[in-house]
Structure 1
Amino acid sequence: MRRRLLALVGLAGLLLAGCSSTIPGEPVAAASPSSDRQLVQGYFTELNAAAAEGAATQRDFLQRSQHPDYLDELCDLGDLTLNIDPAMSTLRVDPDWVPPGAGRGAGHPRGLVYVLGVSVSIRQDGALLGEQIGSQRVVILDGKAYGFAPCPTG
């Protein structure tokens, strides 16, 4: 149980990585094309629908939707599921973002990177283990939304 709790805390930290730093200047929301907005919303709708069906279904979704430049960065959440509620009003372009700990000098992912605020609920066998608020990136590449599966630590 202690190991699972440590993994949960590590996962929450990973989801929020980069959220605690302060960026100088004033925030300015960039207008995103409505088709990209729909793709991003659809990504979260599918992610949550997969979670409702169970860990195996969500794992399959995360594998299918992992950004193609980072297929080797995919982690297994085990029997955990994530429900992610996106704050679509916060959606903006994040052109300089690089995934933390990206292996082999991968650099900036291909496509248009968006960032938005999210509320994440972490569940195990339907029981709520924790909730976090943070930000998440979704990339639009060749008309499809891709994400970056979180990796628990511990």
Structure 2
Amino acid sequence: MAERVAVLLASLALVAGCGGPVAGSAKPVRLSDGDRAKFKEYYAQVNKAGDEGASKQAQLLKDTQHPDFKQKTCDLRGATIKVEPTWTTLRMDADWAPPGEKAHPRGDVYVVAVTITLRQEDQAIGSQIGSLHVVLLDDEVYGFAPCLGG
């Protein structure tokens, strides 16, 4: 059991993107209210799916994976995540590429500071503060599998 918790906590660290500094510089984001609402709705859906169970959240994360990275998925081993963005930190990150990738994802890439809580069977087993990337592409919001480091 302790080994499984350690693996899940390591996954949480990857989810939060704690591998190093975030590229780019802080600039105020000029998003329409509609686009900002899309980002908020995306994370609300992630959290709602997590409340409904691990398989539901895993399917949502797969369905909302950036189209250029559909093959890059990971297994949270029955755990779920709860994501709490700090919206005042939302900014563009035009230079970012997922770890191990050379290509910048298509679309407008944004980064936001988040608190992520890893849950196993409705019990919080770890929490991490980090940053996650999301993309606005063709008027849709896409994310990246937690194992890609956000």
**TM-score, length-normalised on structure 1?**
0.87
The two structures, once aligned, show a CA RMSD in angstroms of 2.1
Q: How many residue pairs align between the two structures?
A: 148
Shift of 1:29: 2.4
CA–CA distance in structure 2, aligned partners of residues 66 and 127 of structure 1 = 26
Shift of 1:76: 1.8
Shift of 1:64: 0.6
- The letter for the 2-side match of 1:36 is D
Report the CA distance shift for 1:12/1:101 in structure 2 as closer, same or farther (over 3 A). same
Structure 1 counterpart of 2:6: 6
Structure 1 counterpart of 2:30: 31
Structure 2 counterpart of 1:46: 45
CA–CA distance in structure 1, aligned partners of residues 19 and 111 of structure 2 = 11
Equivalent residues of 2:17, 2:132 under 8 A apart: no
Shift of 1:32: 2.3
Structure 2 counterpart of 1:17: 17
Extract unaligned runs of 5+ from structure 2. Answer: none
Extract unaligned runs of 5+ from structure 1. Answer: none
Q: Percent identity?
A: 39
What SS class does the counterpart of residue 99 from structure 1 fall into? coil
CA–CA distance in structure 2, aligned partners of residues 16 and 124 of structure 1 = 17
CA–CA distance in structure 1, aligned partners of residues 18 and 42 of structure 2 = 22
Equivalent residues of 2:111, 2:133 under 8 A apart: yes
Where do residues 120-131 of structure 1 align in structure 2 (5 Å cutoff)? 120-131=116-127
Q: Does 1:132 align with 2:131?
A: no
CA–CA distance in structure 2, aligned partners of residues 118 and 12 of structure 1 = 12
Structure 2 counterpart of 1:72: 71
Report the CA distance shift for 1:18/1:129 in structure 2 as closer, same or farther (over 3 A). closer
Shift of 1:69: 0.2
CA–CA distance in structure 2, aligned partners of residues 101 and 5 of structure 1 = 26
Report the CA distance shift for 1:92/1:23 in structure 2 as closer, same or farther (over 3 A). closer
